[in-house]
A and B are shown apart, each in its own frame.
Chain A
Amino acid sequence: MIIKNKTVVADDWSVLRLAESDTADGVVVPAGRILVPLKVWLAQRDSLQHRADVGVWFASDERAEDLQAEVQKFSVVAVDFPKFADGRGYSIAYHLRSRLGYKGELRAIGDVLRDQIFYMQRVGFDAFVPRADKDINEVLKGLSDFSLTYQASSDEAQPLFRRVTR
């Protein structure tokens, strides 16, 4: 189960994570809906690009720009949070949405918890795979912590001072 468009839904995408012995160009990408590391995509693009059931995930030290316009062909792109305190994923998401204009599903994976997903939603994530030990219905509540925000971000192009008359 994952959180998508503010509800808990079934999901059959799996995530390919490289083992230490795997290499980006050598690893076998199984059949079925699968999110592959960016570097696997870049290394195996020729063989993967005809598969509609392949998505890409970014590690937190990778750059949205590495996909450029190609990002549009994916229906699902994910960003990994190795630790919830690693905030690089927020800027990756912001770039994917605001700079590259990515419109498909943007999924947060990894150390995804209730108390961070409000901000994640703001920078452009619309799907969340909570950490396995957490109750997904509890995590979902995090999306409604605030009903009002000061700044613009991916979810809201206008800052508060342009949105309302104060």
Chain B
Amino acid sequence: MYRYDSFDHQITAERVAQFRDQVRRRLAGELSEDEFRILRLQNGLYMQIHAYMMRIAVPYGLVSAAQMRMFAHIARKYDRGYGHFTTRQNIQFNWLKLQDAPDILAELASVEMHANQTSGNCIRNITSDEFAGVARDEIVDPRPYAEILRQWSTFHPEFAYLPRKFKFAITGASEDRAAIAVHDIGLAVVKNAQGEVGFRVLVGGGLGRTPVIGVEICDFVPWQHIITYAESIVRVYNEYGRRDNIYKARIKILVKALGIEEFKRQVEADWQHTKNGPCTITQSELDRVAAYFTAPAYEVCANEDESLQAMLDDNRGFANWYQRSVKHHKVAGYASVVLSLKKTGIAPGDATDKQMDAAAELAERFSFGELRITHMQNLVLADVKQSDLFSLWEAAKALGMATPNIGLITDMICCPGGDFCTLANARSIPLAKAIAECFEDIDFQHDIGELEMNISGCINACGHHHVGHIGILGVDKDGEEWYQVQIGGAQGNDANLGKVIGKSFSFEQMPEVIARLLQVYVRERYDDERFIDTVRRLGVEPFKAEVYGTLVESDEALKAPDYELLKVGVSYDMPYYSPRF
């Protein structure tokens, strides 16, 4: 993976010093909250319901064992013993104190990490394929380009105060696992007819209040020009993006207003000034960065050794896990493994300090000391020898990270929701728990098969509900939490937005609503048809008829204290502002 040189270290250290002074001035009253808010957001620091939350950048989701141990350390020393992995491959800590933030950043810098630009109206952490470098369908490894773009976007002086946040995603494989169609800029590494590497560039995708699938602005930008091309896109957006209405400020609104042809014309007019200029990426810079992403020292071994097959035949638990968690690897004798952070009863994407330490150890034992964080909020060990899979399974099981549910109904994407977030209309985590408990039976889950359920506590769509096969959105009706259900959304190559099935439901009705959707699927599916394919074939109507045909009873058990809003003390030492207390 990429390692900092003296220049990276120096820039990161100067950033920590800058923020330390900003925090000092805030605590001394020299900076108002209005002035400070934007500064802390650009250092990943939010003020949530209970405390400050810090979102730490995990560039393109790649993390070393030492970095994972640092997360564990931060969880123990500054937080309440756990962290939350996010849909943008980052990690968040929920219970921090403002005055600790500079020390946390300094500790992160010691392992070549930061929280730069993980919030605010600037270019955010660039996300990528969690199987980059190891996927069988990979055309080009996207990580060197992601790192080059990370450096370009870090403290870009012109783009720190954009109309709104700006997200890049990049994939180098034929199957899009980075959801590039729902990003402000989506990049797909491609080769042209001459075998040269470039990017297919999508622009103006995004979820949130106005979900839009990105459109192609250029089918091939040679790799040398990707900085200047991206810079022109962001510059046109900075100049012309709306600033009068926060809900219409994303680039997707500008692209829609101008039309893709006119937007492209403006971008390319700007680009003519910089194309072939000094910001053109040099071969030597690409080579320098790419050298950090060379393949580890794989052993030469054959695929699917007999002992593995014997263990699969013998052990149903292992076979279930293998089926869901183990992914193809481009090197014979190796596999990639997804460690599930979706055990029923645990907030999706949460991991304790002990789990993080243990995951670091597993990475060292089984996967060359590296892990990846997925946008589905799980962990990946990308380079595991097939002959180690059984040992890894046993170790992961003991840690609560081997639930055989990857890609199944309980592998939900879920935002922090009303328990933590000041923006939320409704709770997400307790709902995920209630639904997971209802469908926990693993045979049932395997029978239902691939199903992506995404839960967002509000219209900002951090839980990606628009692209869930089943998407759940928390809405506020007269101060009470309700949930709107949509079906038929999808991410990936055939990304599309789900359709709302009708009026919203109470928390206590939701498990029954999901059960009815599944009943229609089980009744109507063809042999191997996935839920999403059945929805696509039949449309929303039969599902709607089943869900709304008779009254959906409330499950009174869900009024138990277990499911109530997290009622814990506020930990602000500086209670400047808290909307709920």
| Residues of chain A contacted by B279 (CB below 8 angstroms) | 151-152, 159
A-chain residues with CB within 8 Å of residue B31 when the two chains form the complex: 115
Complex partner residue of A149 from B155, B238, B281, CB under 8 angstroms: B155
Judged by a CB distance under 8 angstroms, whether B548 is at the interface is no
A-contacting 9-mer, from B156-164, B189-197, B520-528: B156-164
Alpha-carbon distance between A94 and B161 when the two chains are bound, in angstroms = 14
Name the distance in Å between B223's Cβ and chain A's nearest Cβ: 14
Residues in A with CB closer than 8 Å to B38 are: 84-85
B443 at interface, CB cutoff 8 A:
no
CB neighbours (8 Å) of A149 from chain B are 11, 155, 157
CB pair A91–B239 under 8 Å, yes or no, is yes
Q: Which residues of B contact A94 (CB under 8 A)?
A: 158, 235
0 or 1 for each of B321-358: is its CB under 8 Å from A? (1 = yes): 00000000000000000000000000000000000000
Q: Are A119 and B160 in contact (CB under 8 A)?
A: yes
Q: Report chain B residues within 8 Å CB of A150.
A: 11, 151-152, 154-156
- A18 an interface residue at 8 Å Cβ cutoff? no
* A50 in the interface (beta carbon within 8 A): no
Q: Scoring A residues 76 to 106 as 1 if CB is less than 8 Å from chain B, else 0, what string do you get?
A: 0000000011111011001000110000000
Q: Are B152 and A151 in contact (CB under 8 A)?
A: yes
Interface check B39, CB cutoff 8 A: yes
Q: Is the Cβ of A87 less than 8 Å from the Cβ of B154?
A: no
Please give the distance in Å from A114's CB to the nearest CB on chain B.
Answer: 9
Instruction: With both chains docked as a complex, state the minimum distance between the C-beta of A158 and any C-beta of chain B, in angstroms.
Output: 5
Known: A88-B238, A147-B10, A166-B7. A160 touches B160 (CB 8 A): no
Partner of A161, one of B159, B160, B162, B282: B282
Could you tell me if A86 and B282 are in contact, using CB atoms closer than 8 angstroms? Answer: no
A interface, size bucket: 35 or more
Q: Quick check: is B561 within 8 A (CB to CB) of the other chain?
A: no
Would you call B278 and A162 a contact (CB within 8 A)? yes
Q: Mark B9-50, 1 if CB is under 8 A from A, else 0.
A: 011001100100010000000110001001100000000000
CB of B121 closer than 8 Å to a CB of A: yes
Q: Which of B10, B157, B239 contacts A148 (CB 8 A)?
A: B10
Q: Please, which residues of chain B bring their CB within 8 A of the CB of A166?
A: 5, 7, 285, 288
Q: Name the one of A87, A115, A123 contacting B39, with C-beta atoms under 8 angstroms.
A: A115
| A88 and B5 contact, CB distance less than 8 A | no
Question: Which residues on the B side are within 8 Å of A99 (C-beta)?
Answer: 273
Once bound together, how far apart are the Cα atoms of A85 and B34, in whole Å?
10
A151 touches B157 (CB 8 A): yes
Chain A-chain B contacts (Cβ-Cβ < 8 Å), number: 104
**CA–CA, A162 and B227, complex, Å:** 14
A148 to B156, CA, bound (A): 12
Residues from chain B with Cβ under 8 Å of A91 in the complex: 158, 235, 238-239
Q: Which residue of the partner chain B has the closest CB to A147?
A: B14
> Which residues of chain A are within 8 angstroms of B159 by Cβ–Cβ distance?
87, 90
Q: How far is the CB of A135 from chain B (nearest CB, A)?
A: 9
Whether A90 lies near B154 (C-beta < 8 A) is no
**Contact string, B160-181, partner A, CB cutoff 8 A, digits 1/0?**
1111000000000000000000
User: In whole angstroms, how far apart are the Cα atoms of A88 and B39 in the complex?
Assistant: 18
Whether B256 is near chain A, meaning CB under 8 Å from some CB there, is: no
Contact A115 B285, beta carbon cutoff 8 Å: no
Given the known interface contacts A115-B22, A123-B158, A166-B7, the answer about A98 and B238 at a Cβ–Cβ threshold of 8 Å is no
| In the bound complex, CA of A21 to CA of B295 (Å) | 69
Within the assembled complex, what's the spacing in Å between the Cα atoms of A145 and B15?
A: 8
B239–A113 contact, CB under 8 A?
no
Max count, chain A CB within 10 A of own CB: residue among B18, B38, B239: B239
Q: Are A162 and B155 neighbours in the complex by a CB distance under 8 Å? A: no
**11 A-B residue contacts at CB 8 Å?**
A85-B161, A88-B238, A94-B235, A116-B161, A119-B157, A147-B14, A148-B7, A150-B152, A151-B156, A151-B279, A159-B278
- Report the 7 A-B pairs with minimum CB-CB distance, sorted nearest first: A87-B161, A122-B157, A119-B157, A161-B285, A90-B158, A150-B151, A145-B18
Chain A residues at the B interface, C-beta cutoff of 8 Å: 63, 84-88, 90-91, 94, 98-99, 113, 115-116, 118-120, 122-123, 138, 145-153, 157-162, 164, 166
Contacts A116-B160, A146-B18, A162-B282 aside, 20 further interface pairs with beta carbons under 8 A come to A84-B38, A85-B38, A87-B163, A87-B238, A98-B273, A119-B160, A146-B14, A146-B15, A149-B11, A150-B154, A150-B155, A150-B156, A159-B152, A160-B7, A160-B151, A161-B281, A161-B285, A162-B278, A164-B7, A166-B7
